[in-house]
A = this chain, B = another copy of it.
């Protein structure tokens, strides 16, 4: 009950603001609970620093409303991710306890949290301390209000903290401390670092350096190593946990702490602190953040009359799409190439479908930098990442989907990318097995994929790897064609049909015929699959198109499909939907199959492989059915509450899916068009880098009474097809969609 009261209070606080700024519509709480796992602390666009309370390692954002206990506030987090945690480094915690200088932990109880864009505050009940947080891209700022009493006013800085400490050595997906260090620097500053390996992506050691400056001089200090506290002004890295305790005069009321972060050195952290937040007060830093977001969110303006809850859903979705990957240009400890460097691709399997296309559409220079960084990672580390975090590639979920990101950038005309290097990076994925590191990068099972044309059961994720490699091969063929390399193009066009080699044509399930199903090395279809690992014979369990999980001890990673059923993946052939329809038995059979898919609960709204599936009705010439499905899916699964995202947001994947569909446009990644369906808002105006705008406007907009597009005009001229090219949008104009109560023949063709 308390929880509900709190929520209501929070909602009131938000709507009480004069909502004349787009940033007022961003509510970082949306998707922060339930499956969404979004980050609730302040962050700049693609911000390197993401300060936030650490209350739990699950979700990896570090935050949930309950339990109320908070360990402190650390400076680096990820958003929307599942699996084991990453980051949570350099923990600050104010305290007032009289014995505060004799303890290394100062966890407290949160009360009255306020979570806004670029702002977090809470009251620590035990210490009677108010904590406010905002941030610059590479330095965070804390405003701490101590109580007016005679207790010690203290601040703990824990360089050994990270999210998800596991007492079991080398627990899978757990972070492991490599070392930490702390050093008092005069009476206004503390510096040090945290070095951690592992975590979700099983990465190499990464180091988060910090330089923390206090607005008041401290009058006493202590430092610790593990559980030993003493007066040393520094604790050298001995491979263990270190931290510092700072004591301020009992009379201290407000303390501002500025924390520069760097992945290079403490001195660089200090410079980031000086460059970005020194000389600015808390409110100025937050205002800069808001200005930055205001400009970026303004790249899409919704009709002013759009209901508040839809504006909140939409702008929060844009926000969530643009907080990762993290811009770490100039902060790469591995090389000094003077090129953009982004980390926390988390994961491209999740983001290639909608997050990256959304960035491409509304901030193409940013996407050029993100793509450029992928190519630098390829040149330096040997492979592009599927996921990357803490300066290390890992892990792969399905395909080598960066290939699709590159081709999406190509077909959408991003400039400033070396397409020859791009093809080289894609061919590395497609032709060089990553060997012992196939959990980290490249294509696992590649040898079999090439020699058999599919990945046989027994190799983890054989099903979705085969399907996604086919898509990636399509992406390669497009890139090769663009570079005038017909031999490569033709080879990969052929391979892009490899999904058919796992298509079990005669398999019938729930009225549908033909499914991607497990097959062994000899070409035999498998109706049952051995349990677990180890030499045969093992007990077997029946595998059907609705099998989702294996036995409890079989991790996702070892299943036939990662995070999905065959019902889902058998409809996930975005590069050859006509071929898929044919395989499914033609237009009518496909329509029945899609209806079954959605009506019988086979659709998995929280899972990226099904992102395009509601739009497949377009290929049947029935865009109104797409519109029906999209409206229903959003109404049933998305809202503007903390539970408002139906799955792990995955670096903005769920959010960008929502944002696109609200405008009535949805991309097919790797292709240059967007599907047009009924928008959820009256109008969306895209600001283009050229200075022009492109508007999607619904005439007779009324989602209840006029749910269907009956006709369309592009710049006043009749527009009959149900897709629009990227370049049509980027040259500016207006797409008018005339809405009506019943579908017409509009959109029965997708392309001219």
Contacts and interface: CB of A to CB of B under 8 A. Distances in A.
A231 interface: no
B236 A267 contact: yes
A711 B335 CA distance: 63
Interface string A418-462: 000000000010001111111000100001000000000000000
A435 B444 CA distance: 10
A304 to B, nearest CB: 46
Contacts of A435: 432-438, 442
A595 interface: no
A179 B438 contact: no
A271 B207 CA distance: 20
Given A333-B195, A447-B447, A183 B267 contact: yes
A444 to B, nearest CB: 10
Nearest to A207: B333
A382 interface: yes
Contact of A265 (B205, B237, B334, B438): B237
Tell me the number of copies of this protein.
2
B236 A265 contact: yes
A205 B432 contact: no
Contacts of A236: 265, 267-268, 270-271
Contacts of A238: 330
A522 interface: no
A537 interface: no
Interface in A244-297: 264-265, 267-268, 270-271
Interface centre among A205, A335, A432 (most CB of B within 10 A): A335
Interface centre among A179, A205, A267, A270 (most CB of B within 10 A): A267
A239 B330 contact: yes
Contacts of A271: 236
21 contacts: A176-B336, A178-B333, A178-B334, A179-B333, A179-B336, A181-B265, A197-B335, A204-B334, A205-B335, A237-B267, A237-B268, A383-B436, A428-B436, A432-B436, A433-B436, A434-B435, A435-B436, A435-B437, A435-B438, A437-B437, A447-B447
When A and B form their complex, which 10 residue pairs have the shortest distance between CB atoms, in order from nearest?
A435-B435, A239-B336, A434-B435, A236-B267, A432-B436, A433-B435, A236-B271, A205-B334, A178-B336, A237-B264
Given A181-B265, A240-B336, 19 more contacts: A177-B336, A178-B336, A183-B267, A197-B334, A205-B333, A236-B270, A236-B271, A237-B267, A237-B268, A239-B338, A428-B436, A432-B435, A433-B435, A434-B435, A434-B437, A435-B436, A435-B437, A435-B442, A437-B437
